[in-house]
Structure 1
Amino acid sequence: MSEVKFDLSNGRRGAFYIEENHKKAGEMVVGLSETALTVYHTEVVPEMEGKGLAKQMLDAMVDYARTHDLQVVPLCEYVHVQFKRHPDEYKDVWKK
């Protein structure tokens, strides 16, 4: 399993991402405010789909939100669907 990395070098915008063979295999684009983490988009390159990379990034993002006491605004369809499917798992961070 690859390690999820977090890059916030662009001020309040950044991404959780996974690299395979020094190439980006997946990315979850986010924005930060004082109280919220907004997820805009999640994408995995086609040849890496079905390997659980999106879920790894989701888990890392939720861990980050919990650690930093942030609420998650799931504008990304993937994250929103996962929050709706598993509301009990994410109720502490889901900003509806």
Structure 2
Amino acid sequence: MRETIQEGNGFHVIEDGQVIGEITYVILDEHTLKIDHTYVDPALRGQKIAEDLVKRVVDYAREAGKKIVPACTYADAQFRRRKEYHDVWAR
């Protein structure tokens, strides 16, 4: 069974007790966080795990009234592709 948990400054995808994907962020100030790392086990790439992790951070930022600096290359690419993320994009 696969589950996603929020832990510290990030989210982890756990399957069979192992971390198979993660996204982390750094709090820059009270209004802004920076996504600095996204990882998915190479054997599981292409299953939208990283895409779902970025969405989790976007949802978290919306709920907390924060903006996001997508510093890692994957998050940056997602923000450029998805207009629905532009409301939380700190440019």
Tell me whether the two structures share a fold, i.e. TM-score over 0.5. yes
> What SS is found at the alignment partner of 2:11?
strand
Q: Are positions 1:37 and 2:33 aligned together?
A: yes
Which runs of 5 or more residues in structure 1 are unaligned?
A: 9-13
Greater share of residues in helix: 2
- Normalising by structure 2, report the TM-score: 0.91
CA–CA separation in structure 2 for the residues paired with 1:65 and 1:2: 23
> Which aligned pairs between 1:42-81 and structure 2 lie closer than 5 A?
42-81=38-77
Aligned length: 90
- Normalising by structure 1, report the TM-score: 0.86
| Contact kept? 1:28, 1:57, Cα under 8 Å | yes
1:16 aligns with 11
Which runs of 5 or more residues in structure 2 are unaligned?
A: none
1:39-84 Cα shifts (integer Å, max 9, x gaps): 0010101111111110111111100000000000110100101111
Identity %: 34
**CA RMSD of the aligned region, Å?**
1.3
Q: Are positions 1:89 and 2:84 aligned together?
A: yes
Q: 1:28 aligns with which of 12, 19, 23?
A: 23
